[in-house]
């Protein structure tokens, strides 16, 4: 899909690529509200596995099941969309394994 076509489909006008990325990623999280997600970010904690609670503007609220800092497990994180380096949203395909037990789901 061409950039012009994408901009028209998203209804965001003549906007820069970062705004397009932010809109697309925010929409993906909104569409998967309640699903499990694995996100990697550049700040601590680097890894969060949990459920998407909601999307507010350009932030996603994630109720963490597990992080790379066990004291933060169970907390709700407000993650800025731009700080997300990698994400995987669980769907009917591949499930995110429980990394605390080292077992496949």
Q: Which pLDDT tens digit goes with each residue over 4-16?
A: 777 677 666 666 7
Its pTM stands at 0.78
Give yes or no for residue 71 having a pLDDT over 80: yes
- pLDDT at residue 105, as a whole number: 44
User: pLDDT higher for 2 or 77?
Assistant: 77
Is the Cβ–Cβ distance between 24 and 11 less than 8 Å?
no
Domain assignment present for 82:
yes
Neighbours of 29 (CB within 10 A): 23
Give the total number of structural domains in the chain: 1
Domain assignment present for 10:
yes
CATH of residue 14: 2.30.30.100
Task: Give the whole-angstrom CA distance, residue 101 versus residue 54.
Answer: 27
Domain around 67: 3-89
Average predicted confidence (pLDDT) for the chain: 87
Can you read off the two tokens belonging to residue 78? 């407000």
Helix intervals (H) in 1-105 = 3-10, 17-31
């Amino acid at each position: 899909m061409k950039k012009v076509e994408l901009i028209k489909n998203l209804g965001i006008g003549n906007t820069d690529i970062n705004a397009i990325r932010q809109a697309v990623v925010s929409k993906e999280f909104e569409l998967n509200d309640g699903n499990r997600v694995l996100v990697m970010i550049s700040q601590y904690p680097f890894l969060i596995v949990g459920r998407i609670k909601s999307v507010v503007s350009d932030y996603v609220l994630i109720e963490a099941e597990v992080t790379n800092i066990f004291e933060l497990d169970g907390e709700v994180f407000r993650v800025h969309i731009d700080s997300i380096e990698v994400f995987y949203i669980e769907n009917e395909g591949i499930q995110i394994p429980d990394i605390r037990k080292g077992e496949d789901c």
